[in-house]
Amino acid sequence: MKLGAFSVSLAVKDIEQSKKFYENLGFRVFAGEQSQNWLIMKNEDVAIGLFQGMFEANILTFNPGWDSDARQLEDFTDVRELQKHLRKCGIALQTEADEESAGPASFMISDPDGNAILFDQHF
């Protein structure tokens, strides 16, 4: 099972303050739009997302089909296949991807401690 690129999506209170903090740790803006209250920042292969006012808690995020630079991979496990596998393992889905669809889709689960995990495929 190939989960794709991994990042942590942080629910921040002040995106500018958080951006400056992570810049001091060596992160740089990689993608996003600060005027829309979201940024993706990277330090080498480590990615974090800063999201102000978009969700209440931090989220672990996997992007099937992407490498750590958001480039499309030739060989990956489709988000719908991941969803089917996790369902067979008895893991409850918080949100679901339409298994009859193709292309972009996402679903969400929670780990045993209530941490949200998003599987978000962009193509």
| Segments forming the whole domain that contains residue 19 | 5-121
**Overall number of domains in the chain:** 1
Angle of CA points 24, 20, 64, to nearest 5°? 90
Whether the full predicted model's pTM is greater than 0.85, yes or no, is yes
Query: CATH number of the domain that 59 lies in?
Result: 3.10.180.10
Give the integer Cα–Cα distance in Å for 109 and 96: 9
Helix (H, G, I), strand (E, B) or coil at 61: strand
In a structure prediction context, what are the per-residue pLDDT tens digits for the chain, which is 123 residues long?
899 999 999 999 999 999 999 999 999 999 999 999 999 999 999 999 999 999 999 999 999 999 999 999 999 999 999 999 999 999 999 999 999 999 999 999 999 989 999 999 999
How many residues are recorded in the chain? 123
